[in-house]
Amino acid sequence: MSRKYHALSTTGINTFTVIAVTGLVFISTAQQVLAHHALGGRIPTNFFEGFLSGLAHPVIGIDHLAFVVAIGLIAVGQIGGALIPAGFLLAALIGTGIHLLSLDLPGAEIVIALSVIAFGAMLAIPSKPNTATLTILSAIAGLFHGYAYGEAIIGAGMMPLVAYLLGFTVIQYVVAMLARSVGNRIMQTTATKSRQVMRLCGLAIGSVGIVFITNLMLG
């Protein structure tokens, strides 16, 4: 029985390794393409362009998307878990404002990558910090994610700026809630299976952060 269990475990690990390596290679080669926002670097000039750019940035930026998925999943099972993505979204707006005011948040890209790694790691382990701690951590990360979002809207008028803020807030809220809904379904399975799936999700998300910080370090 133990040999059979060991064989199944080894097969599962090998399968995940193949998937993870394939995903990391894809992310590494596609990063430069995915880093551009919807308008190809052009500043939005009207409400529609601003809203479209706001919707696109957190989705085509894989590091941002991975973090938003992470906060949605990590909110599952937490008392008052909705505060975690809410804290992130509010802080992201403030972070964008900091960038627009020409204030400096040093090392933003590194902090963003580290935040993805940290939340991926917390997803992968059984015991997690309480809701208040997770909300504070997600808000700190939100400042830096929002600061990065601000780069795409510098120089835009008030109307496209408002639309951009609305766009990236809406899309991140939707993604986080979808991730939380999926997480709730995962938790309805057996305790062993749910822990395994969450662990794999955490490892995959953390791997995204590792790829990005490695690329940053290597220039």
Write down the pLDDT at residue 37. Answer: 58
For 117, phi and psi rounded to 5 degrees? Answer: -65, -45
Report, as an integer, the average pLDDT of 8-25. Answer: 47
Assign 160 a pLDDT band (cuts: 50, 70, 90).
Answer: very high
CB-based contact 171:59 (threshold 8 Å): yes
Residue 13 pLDDT > 50, yes or no?
no
Quick one: tokens of 97?
A: 């404002």
Q: Model's pTM, two decimal places?
A: 0.84
Average pLDDT of the chain is 86
Residue 69 pLDDT > 90, yes or no?
yes
Residue 1 pLDDT > 50, yes or no?
no
192 C-beta neighbours (distance < 10 Å), count = 8
Sequence-separated (6 or more) residues with CB below 8 Å from residue 177: 72, 85
pLDDT top residue among 8 and 57: 57
Residue 17 pLDDT > 50, yes or no?
no
Per residue in 103-117, pLDDT (tens digit) is: 999 999 999 999 999
**Closest by alpha carbon to 115, among 97, 133, 94, 138?**
138
Which residue type does 203 have? L
CB-based contact 138:84 (threshold 8 Å): yes
Maximum separation of any 2 CA atoms in the chain, in Å: 67
Write down the pLDDT at residue 127. Answer: 87
CB-based contact 53:167 (threshold 8 Å): yes
Per residue in 177-197, pLDDT (tens digit) is: 999 999 999 999 888 899 999
Write down the pLDDT at residue 134. Answer: 97
